[in-house]
Amino acid sequence: MKLKEGWVLTEMDGEYVAVPTKESAETFSGVVRLNETAKEIWEGLADGLDEAGLAKKLVSLYEVTPEQAKQAVQNVIAALTAEGLLV
């Protein structure tokens, strides 16, 4: 699983958003808002981390259990998949 080409993560007015570029802008209008956890997962995906690596990253960043981190990763991946941002 990896991020679909044609998306850029940026910060706008203190919020993280994924903005479509190139072909993605032709098929998706708007932006995808991300919270801090989703931003960290996005960056981990961009770095090539798998689900286990993403969960480990969240455990190191936040005071969460491995189970909570795994659930957060699964939730964000499901949301990104539903929006068509993962391949």
Is pLDDT above 90 for 38? yes
Establish if 74 belongs to a structural domain.
Answer: yes
At residue 45 the predicted structure's pLDDT band, cuts being 50, 70 and 90, is: very high
Count structural domains, the chain.
1
Query: What is residue 72's predicted lDDT score, i.e. its pLDDT?
Result: 98
**By 3-state DSSP, what share of the chain in percent is helix, strand and coil, each rounded to 5?**
50, 20, 30
Establish if 12 belongs to a structural domain.
Answer: yes
Cα–Cα dist 16/34, whole Å: 5
Look up the pTM and report it. 0.91
Q: Above pLDDT 70, what percent of the chain?
A: 100
Establish if 87 belongs to a structural domain.
Answer: no
Helix (H) or strand (E) holding 75: helix 66-82
Establish if 58 belongs to a structural domain.
Answer: yes
Establish if 2 belongs to a structural domain.
Answer: no
Establish if 42 belongs to a structural domain.
Answer: yes
Domain that holds residue 57: 7-82
* Average confidence score pLDDT of the chain: 94
Q: What is the mean pLDDT of residues 1-10?
A: 92
Is pLDDT above 90 for 46? yes
